[in-house]
Every structure is written in structure tokens, then in C-alpha cells.
Structure 1
Amino acid sequence: MDDAEGTMDDSYDVVVVGGGAAGLAGALTLVRARRSVLVIDAGSPRNAPATHMHGFLGHDGRSPAELLERGRAEVTGYGGLIRRGTAIAADPLSGGGFLVRCGDGSTVRARRLLVTTGLVDELPAVEGLAERWGRDVLHCPYCHGWEVRDEPVAVLATGPVSVHQAQMWRQWSDRTTLLAHTWELTEEDRELLAALGVAVVEGEVTGLAVGADDRLTGVTLAGGGAVECRALVVAPRFTARSGVLTGLGLPMTALERDGRVIGTCVESDAATGATALSGVWVAGNVTAPMAQVAGAAAQGVQAAVAINADLIEEQGRRAVEAYRAAG
């Protein structure tokens, strides 16, 4: 693996796959519990395009990159190790635990796995949209709504969730417009939007308009028209980064909204992050696609506590077996 921070061993109590908020919070909890921990981080956090994060008490307005930098320093400060690289597979070992294989050919052993690989936002195919993701092409009003309050906001309709998005974003701006784009609205949808004062604009969106200050000014339509907006709201498809997990035989679960699949995730126990496979836990967006940074970090802590408890129980069982054998 690249970019070593410390000297790597070949075996750890816990290997954390993914170095975002969930993974680092879990790793921090475990190293403070005096566990040997290795974090394998591919360095591609979901929120990398965003310059600031919000709603995380004590960290509101902080950049995601700064939060992760601080988190890495805290983990390594307690003796945890972090490696830049990609875990591509994990193989169960006959004696218990896992052999984690990385993209550079290296391997490490782990008694337990915490997978926090997150998800990929698959965006609508509109020219110029992906380049502005996390800036003024947005999804979550709790993350970005305050910053565009009272500004003209346009919601790109690509499915039934778009009507719900228009309802939500109207909370932050009464200048919210729904762009029908490729979605056929029902009469009930149109009545609701009209009652709420949300304008509906017909026509497929073909591109984005950007001002000289590199700020979004609107969208262009197939018929040659344009709609002013300072933020464009989209509904991505949430696809779990699940390579390591599917290789272990853990299937992805379809995430549905109003009868339509909007993504995939890994099922886990809501309280602990335990998966159906003994020894494997998950936390963050790989299992909870709607979780914000604070929620993902909290899940990482919960999973770490459960992992440590599991290791303590195993140690107790082995101690009793050795005690009986010696007697």
C-alpha cells in the first residue's frame, strides 16, 4: 500500500475498510479501547466536491477535508495505522478472521472487519451537471439549504422523489420551481405543487448556464428556453461501494422509494452495524445512504463498540477453555 503512516504489521484486531467519517470514528473508538487497528483508505470520500459541511455539531461550516485530516491525526495519535490504498477482497480464514487483499498485491489479516466504503452518487445525464455536483448542483437541503435560502431553486424531476424534493426545498425558498424534464407528473402531483406555489416548467433540461463568477445562473431547455436558478436539485441513484462485501457473499439490498429502486445498500443491524456474516460490521453510507456526516460518524462509533464487545467475549471464551485445559 502507498503513503504509509507508521510501520505495518501483518495482523490486526480490526481492519477498517474506508477512511471517511464512519471509518475514522470507528477506528478512533477502537484504538482508544487498546485494539490494534489498520484503516485502509482509497482516498475518495463521497463529499469531496463539497467545500463545507453542515449540521455536525461543533463542526458546522468546516470543510470535509479538514475533518478527515483531523480524524486521521487523532487515530494515529493513539497508535492506529492508516494506509492509502484499495481493499479489493477479503477471504474468510479457516481458523477465524479474514485475509484482506489490496490492489497493490499486499495482504493483511484481521480478526474483525469494519467496512465503511460509502456509496457513489450516480447523477442524471445532463451536460455540465456532474462538474457542479456539491457546489450548486445539490441533493440534501439539510446540508445546503441554508446557503441558498430565498434564492431561485430548481428541482430536476427524474422520478417520484422529485415531487417530495420540491416540497422540502420550498421550506428554504418560496422561489422553488420543478422542472418536469423526463418525468411524467400525475394530476395529484400538479395539484399539490400548485397548492404549495411551486411552479412547474415543461421540457427536457439540456444544459446548465454559468455566470462570469462561476456560479450557476440557470438551466437551458430543449426548446430553446431557459429557467433561472441559483441551485439545481437532483435525485442521484445511491450505489453502495460493495466490492469487498459482495466478495464475502453479502448481497446488496435494493433501496426503494414509492415503488422505484433508487439505489443499493448492505443490510445490517440498526443498533450495531452487524451484518449477516459473523465478524463483519458496516457503518455509514454503505448501509445507510441517507446518513449525513454526523450520522455516519455515530454509526462508526456504535459498530466499534459492538466489535470490541465481540472481541472481549471471544477472549473470555478462550481464557475459560485454557483454564479448564490447565486444570
Structure 2
Amino acid sequence: MTELNAAGTTEHDVVVVGGAFAGLSAATYLARARRTVCVMDTRRPRNRFADAAHGVLGFDGTAPVDILARARTQVAAYPTVRWREREAVRVEPQGDRFAVTLDDGEVHMARKVVLAFGLRDELPDIPGLPERWGHSVLHCPYCHGFEFADRELGVLYRMPSSAHHARLVAEWGPVTLYLNGATLDAQLRNELTAHGVSVVAEHLVSLEGPGQTLTHVELANGTQRRLEALYVAPESCLASPIAAQLGVALDHTPLGPIIRTDAHKQTSVPGVYAAGDIARAPHSVSWAVADGVTAATAVHRALIGM
């Protein structure tokens, strides 16, 4: 069981920072290994804006927050799990332990730490875009393409790989790549045209449509174009400063930084593991769950000296 040490600090085998898909997956496996686990979470998962998660085995079309609520109830039923609905603001090595401090000053000690606090998306500053994020402004066609199949689709140019993103989205319907003022070399433009992708150079002024739906976009030249879903690859950042505090190694990708881990999800700091979107690219619920399992089983083996 979780215990208090002589100084009144709570002791655990493992602290999991973040209670979304990767964190809860890790906590489940550690609890089933009868290890004491404390999950620290603020209930702000990255995909909370989406109405439904797709491609998740057994939960296709279920709201992410509903999947997490069910998982949270199941994890909390294990007797060795403790839940703190607070933000972890600092993790510090102390000998062979880690001190994890919450935003209310409470300190928890752990032999191992699993970071699973997720990413925060930085969306383009275009009127009408943020409020449609997760509804008609999307990222992954595998997650949300089927529901918009054969409708008017668009991809917002943000980086050179946006052209490849447009070719991928074209598998689901007619696509326009909106350069939003960027330039595209003639060869790449011809390649896109050959694959049926239209290219519009003008800046986007706004996204329009009732509520969170999208019907058309307004362009800087005063014209409108019909559009029912816009795919965007936003730049993302780590949602917590803890990685920087610990000094874990990072890899920098076109979509933002991720924490470098080995095959067992251990970071460059011994005893600290990372799982989910913060430690991989590309991202999905299923991959996050799998990474949580990988981290948890590696942590358990480390705890018993294997």
C-alpha cells in the first residue's frame, strides 16, 4: 500500500504524471502488477475537443472523454492506485527516489516516474479555426477522414510536408491545398495537380459555417470557396515544464519537440519513462495506449531488478 514516510511525504512505487490514454494504460498494468501507483491529472486531454475517437478497437465513435471516464473508474478500483486531481509542477531526483510536487505544494516520493502529460497544440491564428478544432478542423484523416469522405476537403499549408498531407487526404475526397500566402515550387505543384489536388495561393481570411460546422472559407481576394473539412498539422509543444526541469533529451520534429526514449520508453534520465504523444510521432489513441503498456512493463521489470 501507499505509505507515509517519517517526514509525512507520501511514498509510491511509481508516479504517473498525466491520466489520459498513455497514463491510464501504464497505471493499469502497474496496478495489475500490484505496485503502488499515484496518477496525477488535470482532466485536460489533448483530444478533449473531439466529439468521437475513431479507430480505437471496441470504442470506435465514442467520445474520448467518455472512454477516459470509464478507464479512470476501472483503474481507481485497484487497491494500490491513488488519484490526485492536481497538476504536477516539478519532478526532482533525490537519491534513488524522485520527489514530485503538486501545484498545491503536496510532495509525493516515487521510485520511478512515468511522464504522460501530453502535448498542447498551437493552432494557426485564423478567425473561425480554433472553435472548429476537433469538429470540422482536423488533423488525422485516419481518425476523422471516413466521416467526411467524398466531401469538399482542404489542407492548410504550414510546412513543406503539408503537400504530402494533401496527397494523403486525397484518398478520402477532393482536396484543395490552401497555401495561405506560402509559395510552392512548380514541380511540386505539378505533382499535386497530377494527383488531383487543387492549389489555392491566397491567404485565408476566415472559416465560415453554422456552429462548429464548416461550409466555406473566405479568401483575401474577396472570393469564397466551399469547404466542409480542413486538415491542419498544428505545431505542438510539451504541455508541462517537467521535461525541461529534468533535462531529458528531446528530438525536434516538424510538428514540435518530443521526448527521446529507448525501446522500453525510458528517457535519458534513468528511472524516468515517457509515453504517449510526448514520446512518439505520429500520434493516435491506440499508439498512446500501447506506449503506456510498454512503459509500465519496463518500469515493473526495473523495480524488481530485471
Q: Provide Cα deviations, 1:194-244, integer angstroms capped at 9, x if missing partner.
A: 101111122100101113x65210111111111111001112012122411
Give yes or no for contact 1:115–1:282 (8 Å, CA) kept in 2. yes
| Partner in structure 2 of residue 41 of structure 1 | 41
| Partner in structure 1 of residue 256 of structure 2 | 263
Give yes or no for contact 2:182–2:201 (8 Å, CA) kept in 1. no
| Partner in structure 2 of residue 87 of structure 1 | 88
Q: Once the 2 structures are TM-superposed, how far is the Cα of residue 170 of structure 1 from its aligned partner?
A: 0.5
For residue 77 of structure 2, what is the amino acid of its counterpart? G
| Partner in structure 1 of residue 7 of structure 2 | none
* TM-score, normalization by structure 1: 0.89
Q: 2:278 aligns with which of 282, 286, 294?
A: 286
Identity of aligned residues (%): 39
SS in 2 for 1:72: helix
Q: Provide the rounded CA distance (Å) in 2 between the counterparts of 1:178 and 1:148.
A: 16
| Partner in structure 1 of residue 71 of structure 2 | 71
Matches within 5 A, 1:1-327: 10-79=10-79, 80-94=81-95, 96-173=96-173, 175-211=174-210, 214-255=212-253, 261-269=254-262, 271-313=263-305
- Unpaired runs of 5+ residues, structure 2, are 5-9
Give yes or no for contact 1:151–1:230 (8 Å, CA) kept in 2. yes
Give yes or no for contact 1:17–1:87 (8 Å, CA) kept in 2. yes
Q: Detail structure 1 runs of 4+ shifted over 4 Å in the superposition.
A: none
Q: Provide the rounded CA distance (Å) in 2 between the counterparts of 1:230 and 1:163.
A: 19
For residue 40 of structure 1, what is the amino acid of its counterpart? M
SS in 2 for 1:178: strand
SS in 1 for 2:150: coil
For residue 181 of structure 2, what is the amino acid of its counterpart? T
Q: Provide Cα deviations, 1:106-145, integer angstroms capped at 9, x if missing partner.
A: 1110110000011111111111211110000011001100
Q: Once the 2 structures are TM-superposed, how far is the Cα of residue 103 of structure 1 from its aligned partner?
A: 0.7
For residue 305 of structure 1, what is the amino acid of its counterpart? T
Q: Provide the rounded CA distance (Å) in 2 between the counterparts of 1:273 and 1:60.
A: 27
Q: Provide Cα deviations, 1:152-183, integer angstroms capped at 9, x if missing partner.
A: 0011112212111110110011x211112132
CA-based RMSD of the aligned residues comes to 1.6
SS in 1 for 2:305: helix
Q: Provide Cα deviations, 1:77-129, integer angstroms capped at 9, x if missing partner.
A: 112121111101111112x1101011111111011000001111111111121
For residue 30 of structure 2, what is the amino acid of its counterpart? L
Q: Count residues with an aligned counterpart.
A: 300
Q: Provide the rounded CA distance (Å) in 1 between the counterparts of 2:34 and 2:302.
A: 14
Give yes or no for contact 1:152–1:230 (8 Å, CA) kept in 2. yes
Q: Provide Cα deviations, 1:6-54, integer angstroms capped at 9, x if missing partner.
A: x985010000000010000000000000000000002110000001001
- Unpaired runs of 5+ residues, structure 1, are 1-6, 256-260, 315-327
SS in 2 for 1:12: strand
SS in 1 for 2:264: coil
Q: Provide the rounded CA distance (Å) in 1 between the counterparts of 2:261 and 2:122.
A: 23
Q: Provide the rounded CA distance (Å) in 2 between the counterparts of 1:50 and 1:232.
A: 14
Q: Provide the rounded CA distance (Å) in 1 between the counterparts of 2:30 and 2:164.
A: 39
Q: Provide the rounded CA distance (Å) in 2 between the counterparts of 1:248 and 1:191.
A: 47
Q: Provide the rounded CA distance (Å) in 2 between the counterparts of 1:307 and 1:156.
A: 40
For residue 46 of structure 2, what is the amino acid of its counterpart? R
Q: Provide the rounded CA distance (Å) in 2 between the counterparts of 1:98 and 1:118.
A: 20
Q: Once the 2 structures are TM-superposed, how far is the Cα of residue 289 of structure 1 from its aligned partner?
A: 3.8
For residue 218 of structure 2, what is the amino acid of its counterpart? T
Higher CA-based Rg: 1
Would the alpha carbon gap of residues 146 and 89 (structure 1) be closer, same or farther in structure 2, given more than 3 Å must change?
same
Would the alpha carbon gap of residues 8 and 66 (structure 1) be closer, same or farther in structure 2, given more than 3 Å must change?
farther
Give yes or no for contact 1:238–1:289 (8 Å, CA) kept in 2. no
Q: Once the 2 structures are TM-superposed, how far is the Cα of residue 262 of structure 1 from its aligned partner?
A: 2.7
Give yes or no for contact 1:158–1:182 (8 Å, CA) kept in 2. no
